[in-house]
Structure 1
Amino acid sequence: MRDRLTSGARGLTLLELAIAILVLAIGSIAALRATDQSRVAIGGETPRLLARIAARNRAEELRLYGPQGGALPDRVTLGGRNVALDTRTETTQSGLVRATVTARAQSGEGAQLTVYLAPGRRP
């Protein structure tokens, strides 16, 4: 009788071990997937950050040179990446000039910034 109890306990222990290994394997796979998603998200942040910097730079250029902006380039290179810039201006009812700067990296990530300028301001 005692032999039957011990052999039954061993089988249950092996089953518990197999379930524990299965749970750990599933947890490891989930952790690896989460790490990979973080890597992809961090890698995509660089072009967005550079696009934001380019948009802020263009807004500062517009503040310096006025709403027309002179002959500012429509493409800039930051951090070894090309960023396309599009600037649209319109005059508001109060007489200010609203300039919307859209910056987009080659990979598609981008940023948009709106700045209000005094009309006809020249350096």
Structure 2
Amino acid sequence: MRRRLMRRDRRRADGLTLLELAVAILVLSIGSMAALRVSDQSRLAIGGEAPRLLARIAARNRAEELQLYGPVGAPLPGQVTLGGQRFDLDTSTEATAGGLLRTTVTARAASGEGATLVLYLPREPRR
């Protein structure tokens, strides 16, 4: 009788049951799906970085132009092409209490990504 009980105990300890194997596969598949979703979200976030970077460069370029020509200089174009993409540039200016002009430059791509840059300019351009 003891030998029969020992044989049963050995069989149970030797391996996994089918149910345990199914649960393990289920847990691993859920973990794999979660990892794939996270990597897909990262890819989407990184994919939108190039237009934002180009918009930031376009805004900085416009800020440099405003520093060179002054806010009352020649009218600058409202659209520029940079890296094969078109960017709409919007510039708004308001006077500050210190006698400077607070200028906000916004560059926006057609896909919606954009950048905003704020700079303070003297009322008269440099000579």
TM over 0.5: yes
Equivalent residues of 1:65, 1:121 under 8 A apart: yes
Counterpart residue number, 1:117: 121
> Equivalents in 2 of 1:70, 1:89: separation in Å?
15
Matched, 1:31 2:26: no
Percent identity between the two aligned chains: 67
Q: Are 2:70 and 1:66 aligned?
A: yes
Give the alignment's TM-score, normalised by structure 2: 0.86
Change (3 A) 1:33 1:83: same
Residues 82-110 of structure 1: CA deviation (Å, up to 9, x unaligned): 11000011111111011100111111111
From the superposition, tell whether residues 69 and 15 of structure 1 become closer, same or farther in structure 2 (CA, over 3 Å).
farther
How many residues align? The count is 123
CA distance in 1, matches of 2:28, 2:73: 60
In the alignment, the residues of structure 2 paired with residue 104 and residue 69 of structure 1 have an alpha-carbon distance, to the nearest angstrom, of 23
TM-score by length of 1: 0.89
Alignment of 1:30-49 (within 5 A): 30-49=34-53
User: 2:110 aligns to what?
Assistant: 106
Structure 2, unaligned runs of 5 or more: none
Shift, 1:56, TM fit: 0.7
